[in-house]
Structure 1
Amino acid sequence: MTVGRRELLAASLVVPFASAAAQSAWTRPAGLAPDASIALWPKGHLEPPPGLVEQVVQRSDDPDASDRMLQGITRPRLDIFRPARPNGAAVILAPGGGYRYVVIDKEGYELARWLSARGVTVYVLFYRLPGDGWTNGADVPLSDAQRAVRLVRSRAKIDGIDPARVAFGGFSAGGQVATSLLTRFDATVYDAVDPVDALSARPDVSAGFYPVVSMDPAIAHAVSREKLIGTNPDAAREALYSPERNVRADMPPLFLLHAEDDSVVKIDNSLRLHEATRRIGVSCEAHYFAEGEHGFGILKAAGLPVAIWPELLWNWLAARKMV
């Protein structure tokens, strides 16, 4: 089932977003809104940088295809899409946005609705951005990703999921979040705040969709690199935040998707990570398509061979006994 274009009707052009109350006030068409939203961190744990205000900005002028982004994130959270008949699988999605914002519809809600229609409980992750002034900014996306996996596992009974079937996937810069979690799921990037943090942050499987991966300036997405590690990082910092240089035998199986004509995030990001996994014998299924450019999601893939990608993902999840 593919999400219909008319289900993606936009909300208002710019909506201030600073609280749960503001979130509930969004005007969303039926079929688009998540079923619930939960904060990643306990109330009062995070102190946003001074002057940081969340905003939802509509980037599309097509009334039938919403393309919103969330910027200035102060309340990292999971938006939950619950299926009518849960199959026990959970998928956490980290949308892209070049570490400047987080896309809402195209790389979040679209696939969330597609998967939830098939029985998967989906959590769309709105993670903090490294250039927004947070302490230890380079680690806040990974901190939020680790916390998301732990929090989802802690909610297994509440949400009717199997804590041993938790997948994590990311698009574009969200792919950098996903592949960082792939290799640094047990890195100490924040202090434990409650019993949730005793749970494992290792996903059972992981996926990168046209992902930003490497911080090597020869292939890196320049904006994501600058936002994450600055303009003049030393060699050690560049290596630490390059997942292809940190692969390990105990990392989860990986699914990769990329278009060869991607002019924004070079396919070399996926190719290098794929080769690195092959060298150490970690399972990686990769699908490369001649056309698709960058950021195709589901709707923009229509009419191209790459449009089959959600089914390829589904078959891979099934083969891994995730769905």
Structure 2
Amino acid sequence: MNRRHLLLAALAAPAAAQTPPPSGKTVAGLPAPLETLDLWPKGAPGGPKSMPTEIVTERSTDAQLTDRAVGGISRPRLVVFRPLRPNGAAMLITPGGGYKWVVVDREGYELGRWLAARGVTAFILFYRLPGDGWAAGPDVALSDAQRAIRLIRHRAADYGVDPQRVGALGFSAGGHVCADLGARFATATYKPVDAADRLSPRPLLAAPIYPVVSMSLPVAHPGSRQLLIGGDTALEAAHSPHLNVPANAPPHFLVHAEDDNVVPVENSLLLRAALRARGIPVETHLFTHGGHGFGLNKAMGKPAAAWPDLFMAWAATMGLV
């Protein structure tokens, strides 16, 4: 271990009893997370009779790359990437996975490392999945996101974070979690469990990246729609963030590729229109090429590779950094 890892290990010591990060192979040169934070002190509420079993699937065949996805999450938690010199900003990151699983590396750890290198404390959320039978049903991931923002604020002093400067960013189905949080942060989706739940779950800003937004076909992503609402048309409006934007929604930053053949670009356009109708600041970047799921590394060599720097420049104008 080098000096940086020793320092981070010392900082992470109070969290040693927490549930560890998802398992799997590691790659030399890519810092592995050393700290986690369980969301629920007495276990997640509303568990199914048969609790899901967490399973990590490695999808990369390259020994120098990891591309894991985790399903069956029963202990939702934050994986923390601390910067050596925190600037007081924090970001909650909700990776995608179509509500079937949660991506670990491509839309999680890659961005966590990138943000930490720029002074932002990054919290990757491994949220519960609606198809696993939780009592909260389609609100279960939103419950975890609300709790995560509150917990980050409650523990702000432990992480060198300004509790007012906590944003949210999510990809694909995790973009739906992010957009849902931006729209329904004030919706009571669980009973308070401790002092953290007295704090606001409204993020300072929200950045859904190629997000699932609409639950209505043909714009909806069919897989996410099926796992979230079971195809029940009566639930579509309640779980389509663009139909639930409040007057006090946070500013939004949207990114999408026009050639996305998994989640149509119309999802971001619907959310943009709804935000503008409410007078909510929204910055939108649409790229001709990029496809779906480009995250950071898969955007390299494409115009879409500009999105992280565009986000940081915009976030500075919003007071995050």
| TM-score, structure 2 as length reference | 0.91
Once the two structures are TM-superposed, the CA of residue 47 in structure 1 deviates from its matched residue by 6.3
Residue identity matched to 1:316: W
Once the two structures are TM-superposed, the CA of residue 227 in structure 1 deviates from its matched residue by 0.6
Structure 1 residue aligned with 2:310: 312
Partners of 1:91 and 1:168 within 8 A in 2: yes
Partners of 1:247 and 1:277 within 8 A in 2: yes
Once the two structures are TM-superposed, the CA of residue 21 in structure 1 deviates from its matched residue by 6.2
- Indicate the SS of the match to 1:275: helix
Task: Determine the C-alpha separation between the residues in 2 that align with 1:110 and 1:84.
Answer: 17
The correspondence of residues 186-265 of structure 1 with structure 2, limited to 5 A, is 186-234=186-234, 237-265=235-263
Structure 2 residue aligned with 1:293: 291
Task: Determine the C-alpha separation between the residues in 1 that align with 2:255 and 2:263.
Answer: 12
- Indicate the SS of the match to 1:183: helix
Deviations 1:167-200 (A, max 9, x none): 0011000000001111100101100011110000
- What do you get for the CA RMSD once the two structures are aligned? 1.6
Structure 2 residue aligned with 1:41: 40
- Indicate the SS of the match to 2:320: coil
- Indicate the SS of the match to 1:131: helix
Structure 1 residue aligned with 2:133: 133
Task: Determine the C-alpha separation between the residues in 2 that align with 1:44 and 1:265.
Answer: 33
Change (3 A) 1:267 1:160: same
- In structure 1, runs of 5+ residues without a counterpart are 1-18
- Indicate the SS of the match to 2:41: coil
Task: Determine the C-alpha separation between the residues in 1 that align with 2:54 and 2:260.
Answer: 30
The correspondence of residues 135-174 of structure 1 with structure 2, limited to 5 A, is 135-174=135-174
Task: Determine the C-alpha separation between the residues in 2 that align with 1:53 and 1:24.
Answer: 12
Partners of 1:145 and 1:177 within 8 A in 2: yes
- Indicate the SS of the match to 1:79: strand
Task: Determine the C-alpha separation between the residues in 1 that align with 2:255 and 2:155.
Answer: 29
Deviations 1:35-63 (A, max 9, x none): 31010001345464315100111011122
Number of corresponding residues: 303
Task: Determine the C-alpha separation between the residues in 1 that align with 2:314 and 2:110.
Answer: 19
Partners of 2:22 and 2:70 within 8 A in 1: no
Structure 2 residue aligned with 1:94: 94
Residue identity matched to 1:33: A
Task: Determine the C-alpha separation between the residues in 2 that align with 1:66 and 1:283.
Answer: 36
Residue identity matched to 2:310: L
Structure 2 residue aligned with 1:8: none
4+ residue runs over 6 A deviation: none
Task: Determine the C-alpha separation between the residues in 1 that align with 2:266 and 2:23.
Answer: 42
Structure 2 residue aligned with 1:54: 54
Once the two structures are TM-superposed, the CA of residue 136 in structure 1 deviates from its matched residue by 2.4
Partners of 1:35 and 1:82 within 8 A in 2: no
Once the two structures are TM-superposed, the CA of residue 22 in structure 1 deviates from its matched residue by 6.0
Is 1:31–2:30 an aligned residue pair? yes
Residue identity matched to 1:244: H
Residue identity matched to 1:277: L
Structure 2 residue aligned with 1:9: none
Once the two structures are TM-superposed, the CA of residue 232 in structure 1 deviates from its matched residue by 2.8
Change (3 A) 1:157 1:133: same
Once the two structures are TM-superposed, the CA of residue 125 in structure 1 deviates from its matched residue by 0.3
Once the two structures are TM-superposed, the CA of residue 112 in structure 1 deviates from its matched residue by 0.7
Partners of 2:19 and 2:77 within 8 A in 1: no
- Indicate the SS of the match to 2:150: helix
Partners of 2:95 and 2:170 within 8 A in 1: yes
| TM-score, structure 1 as length reference | 0.90
Residue identity matched to 1:32: P
Question: Greater shift after overlay, 50-59 or 20-29?
Answer: 20-29
Once the two structures are TM-superposed, the CA of residue 28 in structure 1 deviates from its matched residue by 2.8
The correspondence of residues 54-73 of structure 1 with structure 2, limited to 5 A, is 54-73=54-73
Question: Greater shift after overlay, 34-43 or 253-262?
Answer: 34-43
Change (3 A) 1:44 1:274: closer
Structure 2 residue aligned with 1:85: 85
